């Protein structure tokens, strides 16, 4: 029986945390435990995971998941679940590589051959988002997502909603569908008005119209719009999603495979969603390993609808492109709004380990969410 010999973590620019698991016979699997702005905390959580699982059979992925989740006594939350997510991804990658098959093959096989994807665009003005959308169209995308609004107070002038409508129309004029991310920064009085204002334009979805902790508000909000409601990037387990499903107020869930327990847990969350006729569109503004893990779920999940795909072409911070950590970035090529199901073993991507070790060896200034403040100086949601 092979055993886990080493569990390594690498904090990488701009804001990622890679996980490398090696067995005593030299087999290797990679995962991603990125928790934007809190990499140091997640890295610290790996101390207890190493204590428990060095010497453990890496093939017993479910047993490792259960032990990591249940026997820490304090469970759940972004830090512990992100650490578990990265370890879980690495174990699935390792198993797939040892067996010579993609992870989706181990999940029961693929239910689709291509994965619909969308990309993020920035810009505060209609001309800015139109230009960004046109560039995404050239890159092969047919759908994008953008902030619904850069800044709204608890109660703002209704005129503040006009620019959002103009921005949505500007993107659609380029021939793309668009999802609107409220990012939880819009409070209920303005969220209702904003949803009503954009409804005639028929966006793909409204994401986080309110913060997910205000579930009763989302239930009320859902009664006032016909636009699909999406949320879930700040939920970390099937128990977090359970109350959302029971409230019957969300149309699309967006678990993050680097925050919500990895492939193992997100597979279960997706199955729960299917029972409630809820679609799955995993959250992923992260790196190549996180995206590759999402692609495994996308390939094998019947109620999957579209994948956020933001690496490299989204976050090219200081000239650093995460695609440079991959030996073959072409596996993520977008054609006609879709990416072919990854066919390589494990997660389907190969990491350039030398580049990872070199980047992680340099001093890194921790990434932090920027502080957003309104005209009155009060802090706004990022």
Question: pLDDT tens, 40-50?
Answer: 999 999 999 99
pLDDT confidence of residue 329: 87
Residue with token string 């190493």: 50
pLDDT number for residue 163: 84
Give yes or no: 183 in active site.
yes
pTM: 0.94
Percentage helix, strand, coil, to 5, in the chain? 40, 20, 40
Please identify which residue in the block is written with the tokens 């995971």.
49
Residue from 38, 187, 259, 283 carrying the catalytic annotation:
283
Q: What pLDDT is recorded for position 319? A: 45
What pLDDT does residue 155 have? 62
Check if the beta carbon of residue 195 is closer than 8 Å to that of residue 221: yes
Residue ranges for the chain with pLDDT beneath 70:
150-157, 311-322, 365-366
Q: 338: helix, coil or strand?
A: strand
Q: For the chain, which domains are there?
A: 4-102 (3.30.390.10), 105-345 (3.20.20.120)
- Angle at Cα 97 formed by Cα 333 and Cα 108, nearest 5°? 80
Q: How far apart are CA 267 and CA 296, in angstroms?
A: 10
Predicted pLDDT at 194: 83
Catalytic member of 183, 214, 314, 320 = 183
Residue of 128, 134, 151, 143 lying closest to 202 (CA atoms): 143
- Select from 78, 27, 3, 86 the least CA-distant residue to 262: 86
Per-residue pLDDT at 145: 95
- For 121, 135, 175, 314, 331, the CA distances from 131, given in Å and listed in that order, are 9, 6, 12, 15, 26
Catalytic residue check, 187: no
């Amino acid at each position: 029986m092979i055993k886990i010999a080493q569990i390594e973590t690498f904090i990488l620019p701009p804001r990622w945390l890679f996980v490398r698991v090696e067995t005593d016979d030299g087999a290797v699997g990679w995962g991603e435990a990125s928790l934007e702005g809190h990499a140091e905390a997640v890295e610290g959580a790996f101390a207890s995971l190493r204590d428990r699982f060095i010497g453990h059979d890496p093939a017993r992925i479910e047993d490792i998941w259960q032990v990591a989740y249940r026997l820490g006594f304090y469970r759940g939350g972004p830090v512990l679940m992100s650490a578990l997510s990265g370890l879980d991804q690495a174990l699935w990658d390792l198993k797939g590589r040892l067996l010579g098959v993609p992870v989706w093959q181990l999940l029961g096989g693929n239910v689709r051959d291509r994965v619909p994807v969308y990309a993020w665009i920035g810009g505060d003005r209609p001309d800015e988002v139109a230009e960004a959308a046109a560039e995404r169209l050239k890159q092969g995308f047919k759908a994008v997502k953008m902030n619904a609004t850069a800044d709204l107070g608890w109660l703002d002038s209704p005129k503040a909603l006009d620019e959002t409508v103009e921005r949505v129309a500007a993107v659609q004029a380029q021939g793309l569908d668009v999802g609107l991310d409220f990012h939880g920064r819009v409070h209920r009085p303005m969220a209702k008005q904003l949803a009503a204002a954009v409804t005639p334009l028929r966006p793909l979805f409204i994401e986080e119209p309110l913060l997910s902790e205000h579930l009763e508000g989302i239930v009320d909000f859902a009664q006032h719009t016909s636009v699909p409601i999406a949320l879930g990037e700040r939920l970390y387990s099937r128990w977090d999603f359970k109350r959302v499903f029971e409230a019957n107020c969300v149309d699309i869930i967006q678990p993050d495979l680097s925050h919500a327990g990895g492939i193992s847990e997100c597979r279960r969350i997706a199955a729960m969603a299917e029972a409630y006729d809820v679609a799955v569109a995993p959250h992923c503004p992260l790196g190549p390993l996180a995206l590759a893990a999402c692609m495994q779920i996308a390939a094998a999940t019947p109620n999957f609808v579209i994948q956020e795909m933001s690496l490299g072409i989204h976050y090219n911070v200081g000239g650093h492109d995460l695609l440079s950590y991959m030996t073959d970035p072409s596996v993520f090529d977008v054609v006609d709004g879709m990416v072919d199901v990854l066919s390589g073993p494990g997660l389907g991507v190969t990491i350039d380990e030398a580049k990872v070790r070199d980047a992680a060896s340099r001093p890194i200034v921790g990434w932090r969410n920027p502080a957003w403040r309104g005209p009155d100086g009060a802090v706004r949601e990022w």
